[in-house]
Amino acid sequence: MQLERCTKLRVPLSLQGRQADGAGVAALLSDPQLVLRQLLSGEQLEQQGAGVFLYTPRPLELPGIRLAPLVHFRAEWKAPLLAISLVNYQLPGLASLERKVKYHFRAELQQTDGDLLVRAEATLELASGEGGLGLPQPLLAFLGNRALGLIFGRLERRCRRNLPALTAPTNFF
């Protein structure tokens, strides 16, 4: 079973109450690590090479199970947009689940007339039937759509709350 979700949103950008200029926003977008730190928990983000980042989200504790994923992203600035894509992910201790659940993600951030246009798309492939997750198709669809909804809800909140901070002035003491 394959489920898809897409979003497109505009994030207003301003600097000291005025619309941010194109050169300033382009300079910020050209630093993928800075942008990823705003979208993810920065202390859990580590650059591993040119444009490749390892993100280790806070472990998820479930009854009898602890999920501590490792996620690799590629982020590339090709003016006028920053492209972010999921390279791979690992679920240590749950290799059998990794084979049954495939997740693909891609996002693009582009400056447009004082706003930042964010486009994101994700695909979730869930193995069903024999050798699958062992759940009925309607339940798989419900859980998959719920998971995508949570992911995109968090992405949209972080875009609206954290990306305008990219253009916030730095305070010097």
Among residues 122, 119, 67, 140, which one has the least CA distance to residue 98? 67
Alpha-carbon dihedral of residues 154, 155, 157, 161, nearest 10 degrees? 130
Question: What domains lie within the chain, and their CATH numbers?
Answer: 2-165 (3.30.530.20)
For residue range 3-48, what is the model confidence (pLDDT) as tens digits? 999 999 998 876 555 666 677 678 778 999 989 988 887 678 999 9
Q: What is the pTM of this model?
A: 0.84
Distance in angstroms (rounded) separating the CA atoms of residues 47 and 55: 9
Distance in angstroms (rounded) separating the CA atoms of residues 14 and 167: 6
For residue range 42-84, what is the model confidence (pLDDT) as tens digits? 678 999 999 999 999 888 776 777 778 899 999 999 988 999 9
Distance in angstroms (rounded) separating the CA atoms of residues 71 and 89: 4
